[in-house]
Chain A
């Protein structure tokens, strides 16, 4: 039983960090309707930038992390301006391929700048584990999860209350109608990509602290899809629930099923869940069920 509790709790906390990965994806869907296959790579770029600023440049934590967020927001806006704006009215395939191409560019560029080796991020929290009732959680995971909750609350508030947030919702609902109501679509697209960049900087910091900064972090990108398919492509609450569900599925299958089904089953278990969700509830738990069935 205690093993079960341990797996559940660590699954939930890890799931919050998956939600952070998915949040950047969801923001782009909300603001520009683009399915971004390069969010994983953008997160890796964020991780490398933050590790470079904190170690090689020697910035303190309170300066390095905001600088990374600013840099990555610029990167996000630049991606939108130079790669996606020229493709504004192109087919879905063109947009998907453009994001895949961007991912490929970042994946090639990062090791050319920073080399192939594993880098680390100096920690501001002492690296130990909290112990409650026999359940242990690494301090980094715990505080990151708290940060994610705050961030998600802020974004939820932004999208439901602020003028710009509502404009973004409107654009994702119906571009043409939004434009005719005087919403600046270009601004909204740019802002959503900048936000995704900023979120990727934080995700890069958190995941880089947990696993080490390495280009293999891109595999995390594949976990974004089960999260958002379960939660609904453009729902922030959905990203949290989906993230937690993926964290649980992964943690529990690592604990109970890996021995029977082969090593590494826990990495594909969320993807199997994704397929099941597509069968049963293709628009996710919190998505809008208006998908045309044809």
Chain B
């Protein structure tokens, strides 16, 4: 029995225990198992179709995890993360295609560029509390969309299409579905590791303090402005990485990839998945990314046919319905749902 028993509660006696990554030995096994499935089993057994789907989920999960740093942990709202992803994608694409920079220079530069760019809008609104960041980032979204579509000397032509030079190192070859999958999931693993560690660090805890009670945080010598800006920078830099991955996956970027709809989707992902939770970001990304695939491939299979134009509208509507239902019925999202189920089995046969 002891083997299948899980922890019965968390009783930390030292600070070191509280910040430990592997709270229990089982967690280490779980993490290793997840890594093994992600990097060994899936690339070997999955069909190309599922590799493509999972790659899209992974790209979305990178962006959602980044946004969760800002929204879930630091308690701010951004409606402009698609714009910051666009800045990242275009910076890296143009650095490689025009300046002929190698990708390992272009990608970090792109992330920093996205982060720094976002600070222009963050500074305008983080001085005041509340919804102003949402509105300022909405403005950022529209301004970036306009710049990309009308300043052709930046984007270089019609619809701002920039091609991405493929990366080819051994199995990590972005001309194949497996290579793209590996690139995206290596990036996702690094992002998850970074965010997990960030949240165990002083800075991460300061962000949570600012979210929960900014005045008390300021009273404890935690500068709210500083940590809000830090969260905003990190979050946007990760969004920039998500944009870069999008570029490598599609082989090109165009202005149509980074509209307000994507920003809203990122928010929906973390909301549906669970605010302030990394597994939640990934679950939410999977849910929102697979919703259209589910609609396109599964509903006709059960005899529910509709035209392509209706499908788009139906999807827009269902997207809204899904967000509303999660908000009203399960505000803690899919991860909250998962925890409830897990707790049920852990406590079984006693309900508490």
Our verdict on whether A and B bind, yes or no, reads: yes
Residues of A within 8 A of B (CB): 35, 83, 86-87, 90, 92-94, 96-98, 100-109, 111-112, 116, 222, 225-226, 229, 262-265, 267-268, 271-272, 274-275, 278-279, 282-283, 291-294
CB distance from B159 to the nearest CB of A (A): 14
Bound CA–CA A226/B322 (angstroms): 29
> Of A86, A98, A271, A282, which contacts B139 at CB under 8 A?
A271
CB distance from A255 to the nearest CB of B (A): 17
Instruction: Indicate if the CB atoms of B321 and A293 lie closer than 8 Å.
Output: no
Bound CA–CA A274/B80 (angstroms): 15
Neighbouring B residues of A87 by C-beta, 8 Å = 327-328
Instruction: Indicate if the CB atoms of B268 and A222 lie closer than 8 Å.
Output: no
A-B contact count (CB 8 A): 141
Q: On chain B, which size bracket covers the interface?
A: 35 or more
Instruction: Indicate if the CB atoms of B327 and A35 lie closer than 8 Å.
Output: no
Neighbouring B residues of A283 by C-beta, 8 Å = 128
Which 7 A/B pairs are nearest by Cβ-Cβ distance? A108-B317, A104-B320, A108-B316, A262-B150, A105-B320, A101-B323, A271-B139
Instruction: Indicate if the CB atoms of A94 and B327 lie closer than 8 Å.
Output: yes
- Say whether B38 faces chain A, with CB atoms less than 8 Å apart: no
Bound CA–CA A222/B80 (angstroms): 13
- Say whether B237 faces chain A, with CB atoms less than 8 Å apart: no
Closest to A85 in B: B328
Instruction: Indicate if the CB atoms of A90 and B132 lie closer than 8 Å.
Output: no
- Say whether B96 faces chain A, with CB atoms less than 8 Å apart: no
Bound CA–CA A155/B20 (angstroms): 59
Question: Residue among B123, B134, B224 with the most chain A CB within 10 A?
Answer: B134
Instruction: Indicate if the CB atoms of B136 and A274 lie closer than 8 Å.
Output: yes
Contacts A96-B131, A97-B267 given; does A112 touch B314 at CB 8 Å = yes
Neighbouring A residues of B75 by C-beta, 8 Å = 93
Instruction: Indicate if the CB atoms of A278 and B132 lie closer than 8 Å.
Output: yes
CB distance from A108 to the nearest CB of B (A): 3
Contacts A93-B77, A294-B218 given; does A100 touch B267 at CB 8 Å = yes
Bound CA–CA A265/B182 (angstroms): 41
Instruction: Indicate if the CB atoms of A90 and B130 lie closer than 8 Å.
Output: no
Contacts A100-B264, A271-B143 given; does A111 touch B323 at CB 8 Å = no
Neighbouring A residues of B125 by C-beta, 8 Å = 278, 282
- Say whether B298 faces chain A, with CB atoms less than 8 Å apart: no
Instruction: Indicate if the CB atoms of B150 and A264 lie closer than 8 Å.
Output: yes
Instruction: Indicate if the CB atoms of B142 and A108 lie closer than 8 Å.
Output: no
Bound CA–CA A291/B214 (angstroms): 14
Instruction: Indicate if the CB atoms of A222 and B132 lie closer than 8 Å.
Output: no
> Of A86, A98, A104, A225, which contacts B317 at CB under 8 A?
A104
Question: Residue among B71, B275, B319 with the most chain A CB within 10 A?
Answer: B319
28 residue pairs from A and B, CB less than 8 Å apart = A35-B131, A90-B331, A93-B271, A98-B327, A100-B323, A101-B324, A104-B323, A105-B320, A105-B321, A108-B313, A108-B314, A108-B318, A108-B320, A225-B135, A229-B135, A268-B146, A271-B139, A275-B121, A275-B139, A278-B124, A278-B132, A282-B127, A282-B128, A283-B128, A291-B129, A293-B127, A294-B129, A294-B224
Neighbouring A residues of B323 by C-beta, 8 Å = 97-98, 100-101, 104
Bound CA–CA A46/B132 (angstroms): 28
Closest to B72 in A: A93
CB distance from B330 to the nearest CB of A (A): 12
Instruction: Indicate if the CB atoms of A271 and B327 lie closer than 8 Å.
Output: no
Contacts A112-B317, A265-B146 given; does A225 touch B77 at CB 8 Å = no
Neighbouring A residues of B77 by C-beta, 8 Å = 92-93, 96
Neighbouring A residues of B129 by C-beta, 8 Å = 291-294
Bound CA–CA A116/B328 (angstroms): 31
Bound CA–CA A122/B75 (angstroms): 48
Bound CA–CA A98/B134 (angstroms): 14
- Say whether B309 faces chain A, with CB atoms less than 8 Å apart: yes
Bound CA–CA A92/B77 (angstroms): 9
CB distance from B332 to the nearest CB of A (A): 11
Closest to B325 in A: A101
Bound CA–CA A138/B225 (angstroms): 48
> Of A86, A102, A275, which contacts B328 at CB under 8 A?
A86
Instruction: Indicate if the CB atoms of B150 and A263 lie closer than 8 Å.
Output: yes
CB distance from B316 to the nearest CB of A (A): 3
- Say whether B301 faces chain A, with CB atoms less than 8 Å apart: no
Instruction: Indicate if the CB atoms of B127 and A35 lie closer than 8 Å.
Output: no
Question: Residue among A94, A104, A116, A226 with the most chain B CB within 10 A?
Answer: A104
> Of A90, A222, A279, A291, which contacts B124 at CB under 8 A?
A279
Bound CA–CA A279/B125 (angstroms): 7
Instruction: Indicate if the CB atoms of B313 and A265 lie closer than 8 Å.
Output: no
Bound CA–CA A229/B134 (angstroms): 12
- Say whether B302 faces chain A, with CB atoms less than 8 Å apart: no
Known: A94-B327, A97-B267. 19 other contacts (CB 8 A): A83-B328, A87-B327, A92-B131, A96-B77, A101-B268, A102-B320, A103-B320, A104-B264, A104-B316, A105-B316, A108-B318, A222-B138, A264-B149, A278-B124, A278-B125, A278-B128, A279-B123, A282-B125, A291-B128
Neighbouring A residues of B132 by C-beta, 8 Å = 229, 278, 282
- Say whether B33 faces chain A, with CB atoms less than 8 Å apart: no
